[in-house]
Structures are given as C-alpha cells and as structure tokens.
Amino acid sequence: MGATRLLVFVGPSGAGKTTIAHRLRAARPDRRSFSVSHTTRPMRPGEREGEDYHFVTRQAFEALRDDGGFAEWAQVHGNFYGTSVAEIERLRSAGQDMLFDIDIQGAHSLYRLYGDQTLLCFLLPPSWPVLVARLLGRGTETDETVRRRLRTARLELQGVLDSPAPWHVVVNDALDRTHAELEARLGDPVAPPSDVHNHPAVRAFLEDALADPRAV
C-alpha cells in the first residue's frame, strides 16, 4: 500500500466540486474517504453526526483550536469549520486517501503540514458566464449571496495566482473527462502542476471576473 494522499478541492460554488468528489469516492470506496469536518453551525434536516459533520459547540471548537487540534479552520458567515488533525491521522492510519472541499486558506494550511502528499486542485467551471448561469439557475440564491459567491470566486482565483504552492487547474467542462484527468493526477505522485499564470482558462476566467461588477 502506497502513501496516502490528500486531494484538496478549491473553486467557485457551482464548479462541481461536490459532484466530482463523490464520483472519485465511488470509484475507490476501499481507498478514498471524505474528511469529516467539525462545525459550530446547527445540524440541518437529513444530516447525521459524524457523517456530514462533527457538530460541536463554539466553546468546544475554540478549545480544540487553541490546543492545536485543527489542521485547518475558518470562520464562515459566523460559524466555524475545521479539519481536525485526529481525523486526518485516523484516515492515514487506515491507508485512506482523503478528499477535501475547503477554501484556499485551508488548502494552504494542509499543504504546509503535509507537503507533497497534498494535491491542490483548483476546479473551474467552463467559463465565468457558465458559473453565473449555474448560480442563478439554482433559484435559491439571493442577489447578495450571488454577489458574495462571485466575489469569493474572484478572490480565490487571485489567491491561486499569488500562491507559492503548486496548483493543478482542472476545467470541469465534462464530468467523465474531469474524472479521468483527476484519476490520472492522483495516480502520478510526480505529476507536474499547472502553469497557472499562462493557463488559458485561468486567464479568461479572471478577465471576465474583473469585468463583472458583482464580483468587485
């Protein structure tokens, strides 16, 4: 059994991170697991403790955080989210590759801790207009949440461009192709990262983002 890897997805809401992560998990259920995060937000209908999240109080979260118990954590819209070191070590001990859907700060934290065992993947939709259409098509987003998600998409892409860490940019324009590309990258521990500054999809996406007043 080879060394375990951490596959970290960052990208806009609407890029398909959850869908592709589930596809990768289903392809190798014996080898891949989702990392179950801690959160202080209330449990939603249909969610299960220990399966969707570890639901904890703010006091318990802060105590674990202050004790160095999180490999990465963030505050999002008033609630805390974090990946515990114990959760990662549990899955590594079981020989499991881990799938993460987190923000760019969390991705950098994992890379600092686990280095080359971490595959940083920035997942893009086919284009900025496609992203906007997907968000509006949900029918559940307010104008403010759409603006917030678009601003976050622009800032995270800029963060990838400014990052000293190696990133693999994948354009999710066809699910089967995206899955195959990620399987190939996971299977090659020395796969070269993307040249993000000269990646045509990155450049086009950023140009459209900067031109969209909702993303400012």
The pLDDT tens digits of the residues spanning 114-145 come to: 999 999 999 999 999 999 999 999 888 899 99
Residue pair 60/108 in contact (Cβ under 8 Å)? The answer is no
Of 143, 191, 135, 134, whose CA–CA distance to 168 is shortest?
A: 191
Helix ranges (H only) for the chain are: 17-27, 58-66, 85-93, 104-114, 128-137, 143-162, 175-186, 200-211
Residue-level pLDDT at 72: 95
**What mean pLDDT comes out for the span 15-42?**
94
Q: If pLDDT is split at 50, 70 and 90, which confidence band does 1 have?
A: very low
CATH architecture of 1-31+97-216: 3-Layer(aba) Sandwich (3.40)
Q: Amino acid identity of 145?
A: T
Between residues 3 and 182, which one has the greater pLDDT?
182
The CATH number of the structural domain formed by 36-94 is 3.30.63.10
- Summarize the confidence of residues 47-58 as an average pLDDT: 93
Q: What is the pLDDT of residue 2?
A: 58
pLDDT at 200: 96
- Is the pLDDT reported for residue 48 higher than 50? yes
pLDDT tens digits for range 66-104: 999 999 999 887 899 999 999 999 999 999 999 998 889
Q: Is 36-94 the same fold as 1-31+97-216? A: no
User: What does the pLDDT read at residue 44?
Assistant: 87
pLDDT of amino acid 141: 85
Residue spans per domain, the chain: 1-31+97-216, 36-94
* CA 168/CA 146 separation, integer angstroms: 26
Q: What is the pLDDT of residues 2-12, one digit of tens each?
A: 589 999 999 99
d(CA 46, CA 52): 9
Range in 29-33, 171-175, 187-191 with the lowest mean pLDDT: 187-191
